[in-house]
Amino acid sequence: MQPEQHTAGRFDHLRGALREFPPLIWSFLYFFFLLTGYYVMRPVRDAVAASNDPAMVFPPAMVEWFALRGVDLGEFQIQALFTGTFLSMLLLQPVYGALVSRFPRRVFLPVVYLVFIACLFGFYVAFDMDMPGRGGAYFIWVAVFNLFAVSVFWSFMADIYTDPEARRLYGFIAAGGTVGGLLGPEITSRLVSQLGVGNMLLVSAGFLGLCLVCILRLGPWARQRERNRGNLAEDEAMGGRVLEGLRRIAADPLLRALAFLMFFGVGVGTLLYNEQNAIVREMTAGNPAAAEQATAFFSTIDKWINWVVLVVQVFLTRTLLTRYGVAPLLLVPALAIMAGFCVLFASPLPMLVAVVQVLTRASEFSLSKPARETIYTRVDREARYKAKAAIDTVVYRGGDLAFAWLHKLMAAFGSSGVFAGGILVAGAFTASAWRVVREQARLPSDRH
């Protein structure tokens, strides 16, 4: 088969899927708008993490308090930010659980996005007025936004599609987010020097407003899917306990395996992320345009990641999921990450760190994440909205926190020490992926 024929056949699958599943286009657009808005703001967040100005990142009183005790907060900047993020997740998890338990989907989904939009307007004011401590608050907020907004998106998709449909379509839907992930950094890298950081946040708010339109258009299909499952009260509040998600994770072997997979997956990503930030801080030290330079650098990394993801999603993800199930999509990236850490241990060059970072995040978004999300189509609503949200937020940020501090310890032994520890973490990640593969095989193809 000629390459052009193969490509044409792939897009014939997409056209056929759009005819067979009308909600696919709105799902695609929803994820496109969501990740475009996120990737407009993400480089700003990464520039904050790599900043050499603690007074911009933390409130002056906090900086002074630590200085009086002989602690330079700038030396623990990443660790402090990750600690604040984890504590925020712990505080917000019961709030989210109460919202999901007490209000129907038609209420809590728009409310989540309206709150995020209001926050962006608040940060616009903070950056425009150069408020002290704005950087740290923004870093934590973006982390919260990313996990909650994306987790809610995939929970909503599991309301709409069955397991066989998800295997066929999640690659296409994820590609919508990838296209947004390409457009967002492009918008930021081209406009941030002209508009400034604050105005970029208003651009993000506009994209989140478009997400609300998609939620409203997808509502009828979600309700129809619940009726097909035999749930006649499909759009009523779920009820149950606020912290039911955490209880379900502790009791259910599959959810517990997914939690471990998330924890160690975050671990390998955090170790790479922190090394990358150390490199950028050294590159931009003493540069008066450090924030803009760092933002442009992280935008470039994000663009490379998303180009790789888009190619894999269009040409591989659907084929692998429909023919072989989730096993190769979970196990192959885990083994590749372990190999990447072995290479970095042998030769910890800055360029190789960037390359492994691109491959690690690209395999997560194009293979591992679509595979995990199809599993949630086969569990009940409480698992989809409560347990999944706890895994995607508390467990995720718990991993961030643990490995951010572990990185600080391992960094005392140099980059090789960090990557030696990373090999062990990647091994645990691979073992967790194998456990998820085994546990999900016990579920029926479309459990109600």
For the stretch 109-129, pLDDT in tens is 888 888 889 999 998 888 888
Cα gap 423→17, rounded to integer Å: 40
* pLDDT interval class at 239 (50, 70, 90): very low
* pLDDT interval class at 305 (50, 70, 90): confident
- Return mean pLDDT, the chain: 79
Q: Which of 376, 368, 379 is nearest to 430 (CA)?
A: 368
- Displacement of CA 131 from its chain's centroid (Å): 28
Average of per-residue pLDDT across 75-89: 80
Helices (H), strands (E): how many in the chain? 20, 0
| 82, 400 Cβ separation under 8 angstroms | yes
Lowest mean pLDDT among 43-47, 49-53, 146-150, 196-200: 49-53
For the stretch 95-104, pLDDT in tens is 776 776 677 6
pLDDT > 90 fraction of the chain, expressed in percent and rounded: 15
The whole-number pLDDT of residue 7 equals 47
Q: What is the DSSP string of 250-281?
A: HH-HHHHHHHHHHHHHHHHHHHHHHHHHHHHH
| 74, 52 Cβ separation under 8 angstroms | yes
Average of per-residue pLDDT across 73-82: 76
Quickly count: other Cβ atoms within 10 Å of residue 245's Cβ. Answer: 27
DSSP 3-state of 78: helix
The whole-number pLDDT of residue 242 equals 44
Q: Who has greater pLDDT, 100 or 242?
A: 100
Lowest mean pLDDT among 114-118, 249-253, 294-298, 362-366: 294-298
Cα gap 399→12, rounded to integer Å: 41
* pLDDT interval class at 208 (50, 70, 90): very high
Q: Give the chain's radius of gyration (CA, Å).
A: 21
Terminal CA-to-CA distance of the chain, rounded, Å? 41
Q: Who has greater pLDDT, 384 or 20?
A: 384
Average of per-residue pLDDT across 70-77: 74
* pLDDT interval class at 14 (50, 70, 90): low
The whole-number pLDDT of residue 240 equals 47
Cα gap 385→376, rounded to integer Å: 9
Q: Which of 97, 145, 174, 31 is nearest to 387 (CA)?
A: 97
The whole-number pLDDT of residue 143 equals 81
For the stretch 403-443, pLDDT in tens is 988 888 888 887 788 889 989 999 999 999 999 999 988 87
The whole-number pLDDT of residue 254 equals 92
Average of per-residue pLDDT across 161-174: 82
| 212, 355 Cβ separation under 8 angstroms | no
For the stretch 369-403, pLDDT in tens is 888 888 888 887 777 777 887 887 778 878 888 89
135 has a pLDDT exceeding 60: yes
pTM, 2 dp = 0.69
276 has a pLDDT exceeding 70: yes
DSSP code at position 113: H
Type of residue at 156: F
Average of per-residue pLDDT across 53-58: 74
